A and B are shown apart, each in its own frame.
Chain A
Amino acid sequence: MDTTVPSPQPSASLIGRLRPAHAGDFVFHAVTFVFAFSVLVLIALMLFEMLRGSWLTISRYGLAFVYGTDWNPPVERFGALPFVYGTIVSSGVALVVAVPISIAVALFVTYQAPMALRRPVISVVELLAAIPSVAFGLWGIFVLVPFMRDTVAPPFISALGWMPLFEGPSYGVGMLTSGLILAIMITPIVTAVSRDVLAAVPQHQRDGALALGATQWEAVRVVFQYALPGITGAIILGLARAVGETMAVTMVIGNRADINASLFAPGYSMASVIANEFPEANSKLYMSALIEVGVLLFLVSFGVRALAQLLVWRATRGRSIGREG
């Protein structure tokens, strides 16, 4: 999908400015403004409601909520670090796997694929983005988890089990499995944004390199220097996606609030603890703690998004790109 927006142009040309003013126009302007403004109101209201809902734990635990490692609702101990850790590790795994593949696919469809293949490949990658999270989770539970447990993990553990990273028994569910599912899920967005960024690199950069006798790969490296800020933006957008992803992760991460160095160990993520425990939160404090995890998630996704947008905007000079669809 072409997701570019032309940069803002004056909406009223000369003829628009010379015509007499209509009262209806003022009303129309005001009405549409109110609705556009509602987006801002909605976000502000969201933040307000969630801060209100989590005020109990914010005021009681302060920052200790974020770095506390013990999550034990029955005795009112709420430390969210295991979830932050799980989110970071599973998203990290996802980036390590998905970023090289996504950039390679973007390069393939931008420079290398035969013309007739480009649209179909782009479409297929976009269709991957359309599969709902819960369907990925279902596939994860019944296909990927057994595959990881029985086929992938045992040789790793027997060969590299001395490393903390691959320690312990493999349950199939865990950090690595959720990281891999996330990798599949963020590949479309990273690919799409990288493609837009590459397309925005002036053709003469590449032509110049090729004219000097560079191979295609060397020309790509030249282009890359130019595209680097935008590609960084693409990666961060992928990260934002991975951080907020809920269902598929909840279904395969194992849902255990431990901090464990092993990639095969079960864990928990910020989004999945909300999904899993919110319906059964039986005290005000417990509910407040889960909403505070939501606030953290909101702030992280807001910050990451702002950073990515800034980088991508710069790289493509004002075109807004890479929204998921």
Chain B
Amino acid sequence: MSATAPQYGRGYRWRIALDAAARLATGAAAVLVIAILVIILAYMAYKGVGSLDVAFFTELPKPAGETGGGIVNAIAGSLIMLALAMAISVPVGILAAIYLSEFGTGLFAQILRFLTDVLAGIPSIVVGIFAYTLIVLPMRSFSGLAGGVALAIIMLPVVVRTSEETLRLVPQSLRDAGLAVGAPKWRVTIDVVLASAASGIATGVLLAVSRAMGETAPLLFTALGSTLWTTSLHKPMASIPAQIYSYSISPYDDWHRKAWAAAFTLVLLILALNLAVRYLTRSRHA
């Protein structure tokens, strides 16, 4: 805006100054947020990289006070529980999303959408309690199964809503074309709609995994954690985030170093997944 007219009056300078201050403030806020992210990531890298070695990824935890060892059981535990969570939440989520996008026109579908958002907003610690009362109590044991189910409940709403969004992006003309050649709706939905939305749905699943991967609260009293190597779903199971928690509140320096290394590894994995999602969605939305 050019300021050539002199008749703006006394308040003009004040208004311009206020405008400049507001612009400066918004810019400063953006710089601050970016700086905080950089500071946290840089510090994590600084503390984490030094503690990473081959043993960290291949050995079991050492008893308290001894140095060395690794968290291979936690890495395996996280992978197992995430796999279980995916096996539950992906089929359920995709079928629910198909209902919402292909049949969901009424008030009921609208309520289900809202409830899905509610489910996404339920604190993860509450999901942990639920999995505890549902699985740990009847089975009388903390277990990887309970942890996996808790993570599945966390992932489900993310899978449902991202899949529904992707399914809705499939042009109606594709559905019409399929129906016009005489295919039943279920065939059209599976062979045409789902097939053309597959990559988008996969992206949503990645997003859900990246979210579940860092969850600690729902695992505290479901999978509990363990210092042993176990692949049994009926026994307490270690996981990377729970391991970070127990190490970070411990009094041992070596465990603190392990916590940083594990956090650095975890954050790196999650950021990589997020960047992958970003890269995959870019081509579609651009």
A128 within 8 A of B: yes
Asked whether B121 lies within 8 Å of A305 as measured between CB atoms, the reply is yes
Asked whether A53 lies within 8 Å of B95 as measured between CB atoms, the reply is: no
The main secondary structure of chain B at its interface with chain A is helix
Query: Is B30 within 8 A of A121, CB to CB?
Result: yes
- With A39-B119, A101-B33, A128-B37 already in contact, the answer to whether A15 and B112 are too (CB < 8 A) is no
Whose C-beta in chain A lies nearest to the C-beta of B184?
A22
Whether a CB of chain A sits under 8 angstroms from the CB of B211 is yes
Interface: A204 (CB within 8 A): no
Cα-based distance from A220 to B98 in the complex (angstroms): 40
Contact status A215-B1, CB under 8 Å:
yes
Is the CB–CB distance between A325 and B207 below 8 Å? yes
Say which one of B50-58, B63-71, B227-235, B270-278 lies at the interface with A.
B270-278
Interface 0/1 of A1-17, CB less than 8 Å to B: 11111101111110110
A130 and B270 contact, Cβ closer than 8 Å, known pairs A216-B23, A278-B221: yes
Residue in A29, A53, A142 whose beta carbon sits within 8 Å of that of B129 in the complex: A53
In the assembled complex, A139 has its CB within 8 A of some CB on chain B: yes
What band does the interface of chain B fall in when counting residues whose beta carbon is under 8 Å from A? Answer: 35 or more
Which residue of A13, A52, A323 is within 8 Å of B120 (Cβ)?
Answer: A323
Q: Are B278 and A1 in contact (CB under 8 A)?
A: yes
Does A35 interact with chain B (Cβ within 8 Å)? yes
The answer to whether B176 and A13 touch across the interface, beta carbons within 8 angstroms, is yes
Contact at B33–A132, with CB atoms within 8 Å?
no
- Annotate B238-276 by CB proximity to A: 1 below 8 A, 0 otherwise: 000100110011000000100110010011001100100
B residues within 8 A CB of A136? 40
CB atoms of A35 and B217 under 8 A apart: no
Chain A 240-283 interface residues, beta-carbon cutoff 8 Å to B? 240, 243-247, 251, 271, 274-275, 278-279
The reply to whether A22 and B186 contact each other, CB–CB distance below 8 Å, is yes
CA of A275 to CA of B221, assembled, Å: 8
Chain B 156-185 interface residues, beta-carbon cutoff 8 Å to A: 156-158, 160-162, 164-165, 168, 172, 175-176, 179-180, 182, 184-185
Which of chain A's residues have a CB closer than 8 A to the CB of B101?
11
B275 to chain A, nearest CB (A): 8
Most buried by B among A102, A217, A324: A217
The answer to whether B26 and A271 have CB atoms under 8 Å apart is: no
Q: Interface size class for chain A?
A: 35 or more
A107 to B23, CA, bound (A): 9
Is A135 touching B44 in the complex (CB atoms < 8 A)? yes
Task: Determine if A133 and B216 form an interchain contact, defined as CB atoms under 8 angstroms apart.
Answer: yes
B217–A133 CB distance below 8 A = yes
Query: B283 at interface (Cβ–Cβ under 8 A)?
Result: no
**CB contact between A8 and one of B28, B104, B118 (< 8 Å): that residue:** B104
Give B contacts to A, CB under 8 Å: 1, 15-16, 18-19, 22-23, 25-30, 32-34, 36-37, 40-41, 43-44, 47, 91-92, 95-96, 98-105, 109-130, 132-134, 153, 156-158, 160-162, 164-165, 168, 172, 175-176, 179-180, 182, 184-187, 189, 207, 210-211, 213-217, 220-221, 224, 241, 244-245, 248-249, 256, 259-260, 263, 266-267, 270-271, 274, 277-278, 281, 285
